[in-house]
């Protein structure tokens, strides 16, 4: 999720694993009918309407926005373990034989200078990788494409409640399994075909910080890449950790799904880790004291 300064992914698709072929589209703009509405007290944020939102959800939108802004300006590590199996014959059946078991670790960081378009390329560099049987590779191409190259797809999982998307959701209070947390189910309320959206449950602190997020549906993925529409189902649980006393970063995730994407078809499950944040670009003035993030 790229805000404030222009970003461009130099590695835009995961052809090797996903079979994706077209570059992701730019971040969807706020709809014209909503753009003139006053935004809440959320420094740096584009306008969004809180009149129909519970106050804590309104604060959560700001928290997701500001957390994404800080993350965009940092270098950080990501680790992904993916297992892929033959699709079960029927829903509820056990998946078939294992086709793939792969573990990849990358460093993601923005370039320190803009390119000829004025945007900052986002670089994904592989630091460790295995083959499809889980054996460590002797030689690693740092610039090779992996699933983690599809950062726009992961951005939608980790930051679905951002200002440009919130107008398309409806929210319903629900219970939380943990004391002191506030739960809200969210789902698309419109039939928009141009904005990538998700559905699930978000668990918040009373201050509006996102603690845990479960995703049970994703929509309009073809806006990111035309082949992503062939992901038939997906469910993900994301746990967030606090940084600089106020920002929430997606540090752990696990999920599963069914895919008909070319070269990534079948039942899949994955685990994800992210951390070691280090600012590369200047942080916005509203980041208190410009303090360095600490894990």
Q: Is residue 52 part of a domain?
A: yes
Name the E strands within the chain: 7-9, 74-85, 98-110, 120-129, 169-174, 182-188, 197-204, 210-219, 231-243, 247-259, 266-279
Q: To the nearest whole number, what is the mean pLDDT of the chain?
A: 83
Q: Is residue 38 a part of any domain in this protein? A: no
Q: What is the pTM of this model?
A: 0.83
Q: Is 293 inside any structural domain?
A: no
Residue 117: its pLDDT value, please? 84
- 290 part of a folded domain: no
- pLDDT reported for residue 142: 86
138 or 201: which carries more pLDDT confidence?
A: 201
CB 88 within 8 A of CB 73: no
Residue 237 lies in a domain: yes
The whole domain housing 50 covers 7-24+44-277
pLDDT value at residue 188: 94
Lowest mean pLDDT among 59-73, 82-96, 281-295: 281-295
195 secondary structure, DSSP code: S
Domain presence at residue 95: yes
User: Angle CA(127)–CA(129)–CA(132) in degrees, nearest 5?
Assistant: 165
What value, to the nearest 5°, has the Cα angle with vertex 173 and ends 171 and 178?
125
Segment among 27-31, 40-44, 263-267, 286-290 with least mean pLDDT: 27-31
The pLDDT, as a whole number, for residue 10 is 36
More reliable by pLDDT, 289 or 78? 78
* pLDDT at residue 26 greater than cutoff 70: no
- pLDDT above 70: residue 252: yes
Q: Across 40-44, 82-86, 117-121, which has the greatest mean pLDDT?
A: 82-86
Where is average pLDDT lowest: 7-21, 148-162, 239-253, 276-290?
7-21
Res 244: pLDDT: 84
Q: What is the structure's pLDDT at 13?
A: 36
pLDDT digits (tens, 9 = 90+) for 152-202: 889 999 999 999 999 999 999 999 989 999 999 999 987 778 899 999 999
- Count of domains forming the chain: 1
Distance CA 51, CA 285 (A): 27
More confident residue, 34 or 39: 39
Lowest mean pLDDT, pick from 5-14, 45-54, 107-116: 5-14
- Residue 12: its pLDDT value, please? 34
For residue 290, pLDDT over 60 is answered with: no
Under 8 Å CB-to-CB from 140, ≥6 apart: which residues?
126, 127, 128, 129
Q: What is the band of 225 on the pLDDT scale with cuts at 50, 70, 90?
A: confident
Domain assignment present for 158 = yes
Per-residue burial over 181-203, b if 16 or more Cβ lie within 10 Å, else e, is ebbbbbbbeeebeebbbbbbbbb
* In-domain check, residue 286: no
β 7-9/120-129 pair status: parallel
């Amino acid at each position: 999720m790229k805000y404030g300064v222009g970003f461009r992914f130099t590695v835009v698709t995961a052809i090797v694993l996903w079979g994706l072929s077209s570059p992701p589209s730019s971040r969807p703009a706020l709809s014209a009918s909503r753009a003139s509405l006053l935004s809440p007290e959320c420094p740096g944020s584009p306008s969004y309407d809180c009149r129909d939102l519970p106050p804590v959800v309104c604060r959560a939108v700001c928290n997701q926005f500001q957390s994404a802004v800080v993350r965009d300006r940092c270098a950080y590590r990501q680790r992904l373990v993916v297992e892929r199996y033959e699709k079960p014959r029927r829903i509820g059946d056990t998946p078939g034989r294992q086709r793939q078991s792969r573990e990849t670790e990358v460093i993601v960081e923005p370039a320190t200078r803009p390119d000829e378009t004025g945007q900052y390329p986002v670089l994904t560099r592989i630091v460790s990788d295995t083959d499809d049987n889980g054996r460590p590779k002797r030689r690693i191409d740092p610039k090779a494409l992996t699933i983690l190259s599809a950062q726009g797809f992961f951005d939608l999982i980790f930051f679905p409640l951002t200002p440009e998307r919130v107008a398309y959701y409806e929210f319903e209070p629900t219970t939380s399994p943990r004391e002191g947390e506030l739960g809200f189910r969210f789902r698309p309320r419109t039939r928009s075909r141009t904005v990538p959206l998700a559905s699930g449950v978000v668990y918040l602190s009373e201050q509006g910080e996102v603690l845990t997020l479960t995703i049970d549906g994703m929509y309009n993925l073809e806006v990111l890449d035309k082949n992503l529409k062939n992901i038939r189902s997906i469910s993900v649980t994301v746990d967030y950790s606090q940084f600089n006393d106020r920002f929430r970063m997606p540090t752990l995730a696990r999920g599963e799904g069914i895919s008909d994407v070319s070269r990534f078809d079948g039942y899949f499950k994955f685990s994800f880790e992210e951390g070691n944040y280090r600012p590369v670009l200047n942080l916005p003035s509203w980041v208190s004291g410009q303090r360095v993030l600490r894990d």
